[in-house]
Amino acid sequence: MFYPIENPDPAVRAAALERAALAIARLDATLDDHPLLPSWQHWVRLEAVRTHAALDGHRVDLERFAAYIEGLRLRAPDTPAHYERGADFDALNHALRVYGLMLATGTSRPDRDLDDDTDAPEHRKLIRDALRMLTQAAPGARLPALARAMRAWLIADRPRSAVHAALPAALQATGVTRALLPILAATDTLRPGNSMNPDGWTVAFASSLRREAEDGLAVLRRLEHAWRGARASIGPRRSNSRLPAAVDLLAATPLLGPARLAALLGCSLRGAGMMLKELVACGAAVEVTGRNSHHLYGLPGTEGIRGETAGPRRYGHRRGRPPKVIVAGPLAAAEPPPPPPATPARLERLEVDYAALDALLADTNRVVERVQTILRKR
């Protein structure tokens, strides 16, 4: 729980900074060269966006926002009021702007490759300004210096989402962390009633970083548990099987499709699709789009994304020419049933006279006996 402090004791301030530094160091050391770092960065970035949007007055569901940024068709909100549906999409668009700011801190694309028709150039400029202010040379320890720089930015009434999005990059640039940890955004300092006193602000800043670092470790443990469960689900395989490698790539990538898996494994698109379907059958993966094509797969635990999608388009509700409807012709008149088969007449019993046959057999026996007698005499 977060409690703002107006005028903290210097010992309280030092203890808060020490706990924050230990928590950040523990998280950074755990994630150093960790295979799940890309997936972890994605999910904690979404969590940071959700928290920031909530403090700005927008309620955003994590699975719904994950489906939104993947370009999936969203189901209608569970409300009959049209204005509440509009509020839902306003919240998603606000979260998307915060997400764009956070992505601008980790991208290395040159400015000439940015699309001028989007908010990317403006996001890049805001992040550079915030990063320049946060990383400017200042006396003292780094965490208190970052806290003072962030407070000065907010007092100057600059966009607060930009400075919070730039804080993870500033921590990396100043050497506090080795990897980019998007969850360390100090969002608790945005809560209503937070003290703007320099010492109270520093304590709130340090407490927020400590809580976020602990939450980041919990997210990493959850991802590792899902990874181990998926590896156990496929069971023992032959030595040249690619399914274990597919599970590892699925764990390291937030959502994976057959085309991306085929490119990473160097196999055919059909083979990658068959592997992903086999993983779904084993319980090691889930399909999250509900579409008939262009599937996306994730580890168990991401099936909530599919619940926020509307699935494939139905006939009659898609763009373009409607499908041809074949109207069946009138049915032919019913034919009369065939007559029942005729019952055959009962045949009379045939009487056979065996007297001639018996006489013939008797004559044959007499001839055989006569021949056998002649043969014995010789």
Q: 282: domain CATH number?
A: 1.10.10.10
Whether residue 355 lies inside any domain: the answer is: no
Quick one: which H or E segment has residue 93? helix 82-106
Residues 47 and 182 in one domain: yes
Q: How far is 234 from 244, CA to CA, in rounded Å? A: 8
Question: What percentage of the chain exceeds 90 in pLDDT?
Answer: 18
Question: What percentage of the chain exceeds 70 in pLDDT?
Answer: 84
CA 72-73-77 angle, to 5 degrees, is 125
Residues 26 and 139 in one domain: yes
In this prediction, residue 76 carries a pLDDT of 79
Neighbours of 177 (CB within 10 A): 22
85 compared with 150, residue with greater pLDDT: 150
Q: How far is 298 from 311, CA to CA, in rounded Å? A: 17
In this prediction, residue 3 carries a pLDDT of 47
Q: How far is 197 from 13, CA to CA, in rounded Å? A: 12
Residue 293 pLDDT grade (very low, low, confident, very high; cuts 50, 70, 90): confident
The residue out of 274, 307, 340 marking a domain boundary is: 307
Residue 212 pLDDT grade (very low, low, confident, very high; cuts 50, 70, 90): very high
The residue out of 292, 307, 322 marking a domain boundary is: 307
Whether residue 322 lies inside any domain: the answer is: no
The residue-averaged pLDDT of 105-131 equals 68
Residues 283 and 157 in one domain: no
**Average pLDDT, rounded, for the chain:** 82
Q: What Cα–Cα distance (Å) separates residue 314 from each residue in 30, 194, 221, 310, 311?
A: 47, 50, 40, 10, 9
Find the domain containing 257 and state its range. 237-307
Residue corresponding to tokens 């021949």: 371
In this prediction, residue 242 carries a pLDDT of 87
Whether residue 366 lies inside any domain: the answer is: no
Segment of 54-63, 107-116, 215-224, 286-295 carrying the highest mean pLDDT: 215-224
Taking 90 as the threshold, does the pLDDT of residue 211 lie above it?
Answer: yes
324 compared with 43, residue with greater pLDDT: 43
In this prediction, residue 114 carries a pLDDT of 56
In this prediction, residue 159 carries a pLDDT of 84
Taking 90 as the threshold, does the pLDDT of residue 2 lie above it?
Answer: no
In this prediction, residue 6 carries a pLDDT of 57
Where residue 140 falls (left for φ over 0; alpha for ψ -120 to 50; beta otherwise) is: left
Whether residue 344 lies inside any domain: the answer is: no
Structural domain count of the chain: 2
Whether residue 126 lies inside any domain: the answer is: yes
Residues 86 and 219 in one domain: yes
Whether residue 111 lies inside any domain: the answer is: yes
Residues 55 and 161 in one domain: yes
Backbone angles phi, psi at 255, to 5 degrees: -135, 135
Residues 78 and 187 in one domain: yes
Whether residue 362 lies inside any domain: the answer is: no
Whether residue 326 lies inside any domain: the answer is: no
